[in-house]
């Protein structure tokens, strides 16, 4: 599994990238409660004034980090594995692929999983800022779904339940390695989860269609 690197190997980091890297490391290590411009500046080894030359304020910095592919897998990445055949896949396969690819994208981002673990324990304006890009990513992905998806399908609820399960399972796999007898870093276990996601999504669509 290939990870997502903040700075491509062999290229110097820009100050902006250095600051975002420091913010991500700080959130992953200490969570949201004591985050501040001063804390980020110390972590980056720079002056607070330097941050304000690149970002309006801390909210702007957190928003930028949340919108970056470093933090969350973009739609292009989620569809990369099936890009050449996505349009021809049946809707149930397209929907299931979103959750499968999200799991893989998160496993490739251990720092994101650490941040999500903190997010489960606290709720403030910073957690909300990191939530918005995830919602937009989901909306963008599902707008590209082709074929007939029943209008009666409560897609918002489906995404909330299965997306929440994907986040929880990946965070637990990061923290303890195994959850419920499954290790999502193991290819065979991840394939088992993929098959269950196929069954769940197919069952949901079948149930909606017969109503």
Do 198 and 104 lie in one domain? The reply is yes
* Domain shared by 206 and 160, yes or no: yes
- How far apart are the C-alpha atoms of 109 and 73, rounded to whole Å? 9
**Length of the chain in terms of residues written:** 211
102 and 140 both lie in a single domain: yes
* Domain identity same for 83 and 35: no
Q: Are 75 and 144 in contact (CB under 8 A)?
A: yes
**What CATH number is given to the structural domain containing 54?**
1.10.10.60
Residue 67 lies in a domain: no
Average pLDDT over residues 11-35: 88
Residues 146 and 202 in one domain: yes
Q: Residue 128: CB partners within 8 Å, gap ≥ 6?
A: none
Structural domain count of the chain: 2
Domain that residue 20 falls in: 15-62
- Provide CB contacts within 8 A for 189, sequence distance 6+: 182, 183
Q: Quick one: pLDDT at residue 1? A: 38
pLDDT at 4 over 60: no
Give mean pLDDT, residues 195-206.
Answer: 94
Shared domain for 93 and 189, answered yes or no, is: yes
User: Do the beta carbons of residue 98 and residue 142 sit within 8 Å?
Assistant: yes
Give residue 210's pLDDT.
Answer: 65
On whether both 114 and 82 belong to a single domain, the answer is: yes
Residue 211 pLDDT = 64
Cβ count near 40 (within 10 Å): 24
Judged on CB neighbours under 10 Å (0-12, 13-18, 19+), 76 is exposed
* pLDDT, greater one: 146 or 26: 26
The candidate with the shortest Cα–Cα distance to 91, out of 143, 41, 44, 28, is 143
Res 166: pLDDT: 94
pLDDT in tens, 96-129: 999 999 999 999 999 999 999 999 888 899 999 9
Task: State the pLDDT confidence band at 148, using cuts at 50, 70 and 90.
Answer: confident
Give the alpha-carbon dihedral of 99, 103, 104, 109, to 10 degrees: 140
In a domain, 8, yes or no: no
Greater pLDDT, 108 or 143? 108
Give yes or no: residues 41 and 139 share one domain. Answer: no
Residue 70 belongs to some domain of the structure: no
Domain boundary among 37, 62, 87: 62
pTM equals 0.87
Note whether residue 200 is domain-resident: yes
Query: Does residue 6 register a pLDDT over 50?
Result: no
Mean pLDDT confidence for 71-85: 94
Calculate the CA dihedral of residues 50, 55, 61, 67 and round it to 10 degrees: -130
195 lies in a domain?
Answer: yes
């Amino acid at each position: 599994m290939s990870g997502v690197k903040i700075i491509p190997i062999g290229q110097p980091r820009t100050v902006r990238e250095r600051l975002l890297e420091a913010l991500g490391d700080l959130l992953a290590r200490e969570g949201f409660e004591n985050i501040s411009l001063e804390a980020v500046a110390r972590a980056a080894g720079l002056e607070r004034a330097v941050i304000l030359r690149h970002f309006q304020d801390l909210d702007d910095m957190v928003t930028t980090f949340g919108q970056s592919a470093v933090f969350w897998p973009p739609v292009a990445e989620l569809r990369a594995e099936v890009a050449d055949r996505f349009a021809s896949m049946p809707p149930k396969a397209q929907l299931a692929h979103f959750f499968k690819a999200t799991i893989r994208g998160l496993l490739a981002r251990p720092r994101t999983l650490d941040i999500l673990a903190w997010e489960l324990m606290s709720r403030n304006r910073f957690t909300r800022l990191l939530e918005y890009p995830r919602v937009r990513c989901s909306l963008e992905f599902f707008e590209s779904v082709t074929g007939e998806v029943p209008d009666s399908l409560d897609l918002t609820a489906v995404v909330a339940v299965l997306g929440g399960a994907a986040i929880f399972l990946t965070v637990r796999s990061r923290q303890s390695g195994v959850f419920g007898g499954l290790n999502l870093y193991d290819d065979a276990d991840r394939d088992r989860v993929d098959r269950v996601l196929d069954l769940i999504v197919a069952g949901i669509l079948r149930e909606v269609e017969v109503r």
